[in-house]
């Protein structure tokens, strides 16, 4: 089968022909239709992600596809079903061997591209806001990197969950996309002072931050007493150093959060969250924003769209 593989950290993906994987008793062989890309894929490519698969490995964290074979212990899914899954890696290939307990059926209302773009963005935002931050309707949510893959879904879900949403992004075009997703207030990170503007709006109760760096510091200083901050990525390239005395004075809570880690430590939480999100999609309440769709042999160009921040929402690689 074809697979876009990392053969050397820091180098472009290489199109390889490798054996189709065997499956275990609790696994399924899925014919991949599409794979969405994430900022974490860039880190995997560089070798700086929190998980480091041994070389060579196939890139691609989240995918949609059709079950072609099931293991002897799999009883909840069947051959021919369309499924989505978060695999961590292995998605940009013709086939993937996936444990059945991290797959969910795709509803009839969803096509394969939207399905591939669904798990990480929506799953990350929903679990962060609902399960970790316990955000309540009426609270003020500040979303940094609001036009990106996990930022835009936080804007959309935050509004759906009843928050007043402040979106921060790099230019007017990206802010307009955040506005269409439901943002109540817009901040241009290239021209506006985040701290001053957020404080003028009444301060933030919850901060959702995939950016880090100076933006995290500005957001923390604009967070209300008893506020919660969720650092979930460092797209700026700088991991913020958090002064404990600031947390003490304002009774702030910084919440550690790694969405993918729940697939090992508490997969039921992931499954329950994704089931809720799929229900919302079927009801027409949410829909993935996919800015670019490219074929498998252009996966490096797709990654460049993320690297240069030319994409908004999700970038998807089609395999079929």
The string of pLDDT tens digits covering residues 244-269 is 998 999 999 999 999 888 877 887 88
Find the angle CA(314)-CA(269)-CA(155) to the nearest 5 degrees: 35
DSSP 130: I
CA 267/CA 300 separation, integer angstroms = 31
* Alpha-helical segments (H) within 12-167: 39-46, 112-116, 119-126, 151-160
Is the whole-model pTM more than 0.75? Answer: yes
The string of pLDDT tens digits covering residues 294-312 is 999 999 999 999 999 898 8
- Domain segments of the chain as ranges: 2-118+288-318, 121-259
Q: What is the pLDDT of residue 50?
A: 82
Q: How many residues does the chain have?
A: 320
- Helix, strand, coil shares, percent, the chain, to 5: 35, 30, 40
Residues in contact with 110: Cβ distance below 8 Å, sequence separation at least 6, in sequence order:
118, 278, 281, 282
Q: What is the pLDDT of residue 80?
A: 97
Nearest to 151 by CA among 227, 209, 88, 93: 209
Q: What is the pLDDT of residue 131?
A: 96
Q: What is the pLDDT of residue 102?
A: 84
CATH of domain 121-259: 3.90.180.10
Q: What is the pLDDT of residue 13?
A: 97
Q: What is the pLDDT of residue 168?
A: 98
Q: What is the pLDDT of residue 23?
A: 96
* Alpha-helical segments (H) within 201-310: 213-221, 244-250, 262-265, 267-282, 299-307
- 121-259 shares the fold of 2-118+288-318: yes
pLDDT < 50: residue spans in the chain: none
**Any idea which fold 2-118+288-318 has?**
Quinone Oxidoreductase; Chain A, domain 1 (3.90.180)
Taking the alpha carbons at both ends of the chain, their separation in whole angstroms is 12
Mean pLDDT of the chain: 94
Hey, how many other C-beta atoms are within 10 angstroms of the C-beta on 317? Answer: 28
């Amino acid at each position: 089968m074809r697979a876009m593989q990392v053969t050397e950290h820091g180098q472009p993906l290489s199109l390889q022909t490798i054996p189709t994987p065997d499956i275990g008793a609790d696994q399924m062989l899925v014919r991949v239709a599409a794979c969405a890309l994430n900022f974490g894929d860039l880190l995997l490519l560089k070798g700086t992600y929190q998980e480091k698969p041994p070389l060579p490995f196939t890139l691609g964290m989240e995918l949609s596809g059709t079950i072609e074979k099931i293991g002897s212990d799999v009883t909840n899914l069947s051959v021919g079903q369309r499924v989505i899954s978060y695999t961590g890696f292995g998605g940009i290939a013709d086939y993937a061997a996936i444990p059945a307990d991290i797959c969910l059926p795709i509803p009839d209302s969803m096509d394969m591209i939207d399905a591939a773009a669904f798990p990480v963005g929506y799953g990350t935002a929903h679990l962060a806001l609902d399960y970790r931050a316990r955000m309540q309707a009426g609270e003020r949510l500040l979303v940094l990197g609001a036009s990106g893959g996990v930022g835009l879904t936080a804007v959309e879900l935050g509004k759906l969950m009843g928050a007043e949403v402040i979106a921060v992004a790099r230019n007017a075009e990206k802010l307009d996309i955040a506005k269409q997703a439901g943002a109540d207030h817009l901040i241009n990170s290239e021209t506006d002072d985040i701290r001053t503007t957020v404080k003028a709006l009444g301060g933030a109760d919850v901060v959702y931050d995939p950016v880090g760096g100076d933006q995290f510091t500005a957001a923390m200083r604009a967070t209300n007493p008893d506020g919660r901050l969720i650092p979930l990525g460092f797209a700026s390239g700088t991991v913020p150093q958090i002064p404990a005395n600031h947390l003490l004075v304002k009774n702030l809570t910084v919440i550690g959060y790694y969405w993918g880690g729940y697939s090992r430590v508490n997969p039921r939480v992931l499954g329950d969250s994704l089931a809720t999100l799929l229900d919302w999609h079927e009801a027409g309440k949410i829909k993935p924003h996919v800015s670019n769709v490219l074929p498998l042999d252009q996966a490096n160009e797709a990654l460049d769209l993320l690297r240069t921040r030319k994409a908004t929402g999700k970038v998807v690689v089609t395999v079929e």
